Amino acid sequence: MRLPCEVDFGNQLESLRTVSKVVCDTGDIEAVRHFCPYDATTNPSLLLKAASMSEYEPIVGESLRRVAPFANLLSERPMTGVVEDLAVSFGTEITRIIPGRVSTEVDAHLSYDTVAMVQTARRLIDLYASKGVGPERIYIKLAATWAGIQACKILEKEGIHTNMTLIFSFAQAAAAADAGASLISPFVGRIMDWHKQKEGRAFASWEDPGVQSVKRIYKYFKQNKYKTIIMAASFRNTDEILELAGCDNITISPVLMSELEACTSPVEVKLHPEWTHLYNTVPEEIPGRMTFDSPDAFDRMHSQDTMAVEKLREGVAGFCADQIKLEEMLLEKFTTYLHP
């Protein structure tokens, strides 16, 4: 189905900017500077990569000098405070480049502990404030577990804007909107990966299960007048991105941004709030506003989606693993500073 609009502004990245807010998915400050996105997203995996780059050694060193001397080196994870400081330091530098917000993630080890997530989120906001960055420039990223969704509800009431990440099921998206999340991040590529492995075949972009998941969420949010922003994330190729042109926000890796920048074909708008009645690619009936008053209500719906259950668990574990790698790298660097 063709929707009635194409845009052409020289290359696909520039064209995409006219119909969606383009977000850079990286901790690489220079990549953000090059691509001039509206927002930027970071996570432990991206911070690990950026912190390993020689050009950011001064930022890493400053966080170690500022925080590590106060760490309890006998504790199981003595570098957690340094990681928080480092995430905020990278985020602060990024806010000096972009006009919008940067997403900073709460330690994934806390994904099933509402109180700990709320406390960490408040601490991150305070760290940003100490560097002159207000809460209006920040999204706090929380895994969209039931505990994370409850933390979202508390934080949003305090004026702390949340980005509910690792969205794989319709239940997660609907519950996050019900909780008042500022933004959600449905993961397109990881959904497609699961179906590709299970079904043993590739998918055209229009039938890509991850793309279809975002379109269903988009239709539900727009028809029910939710203010929650949908930021499509986790792409495997530019075809997936282009199939969601018009989504509120799209967060894209520097590699895929380069590919879009190199292509001069026009971009066809696929999503628009006034066109949801045209989406015959979303056959499921779209319900009215759903409420989730208990974990049982959420779990009943979420657990019906085997893919989502597996990928959420896997996603949390992956971010935990990269958090530990980052902490180990920082501890090694700090030990070197102590004993050169």
Q: Which pLDDT tens digit goes with each residue over 71-104?
A: 888 799 999 999 999 999 999 999 999 999 999 9
The two tokens of residue 176 are: 């996050």
pLDDT in tens, 283-294: 567 899 999 999
pLDDT at 255: 99
Q: What is the mean pLDDT of residues 18-24?
A: 98
For 128-141, write each residue's pLDDT tens digit. 999 999 999 999 99
Which active-site residues does the annotation give? Answer: 141
pLDDT per residue as tens digits for the range 220-235: 999 999 999 999 999 9
Q: What is the pLDDT of residue 44?
A: 92
Cα-trace Rg, the chain: 20
The residues, ordered by sequence, that sit 6+ positions from 157 with a Cβ below 8 Å of its Cβ are 180
Lowest mean pLDDT among 71-75, 253-257, 330-334: 71-75
Report helix angle 114-130 to 146-157, nearest 10.
Answer: 40
pLDDT of 337 higher than 80: no
Alpha carbons 203 and 313: distance in angstroms, whole number? 24
Per-residue pLDDT at 167 exceeds 60 = yes
Q: What is the pTM of this model?
A: 0.95
Residue type, 310: E
Per-residue pLDDT, 1 = 44
Taking a C-beta distance cutoff of 8 angstroms, is the pair 271, 215 a contact?
Answer: yes
The angle formed by the CA atoms of residues 170, 218 and 195, to the nearest 5 degrees, is 50
Tell me, what's the pLDDT at 192?
98
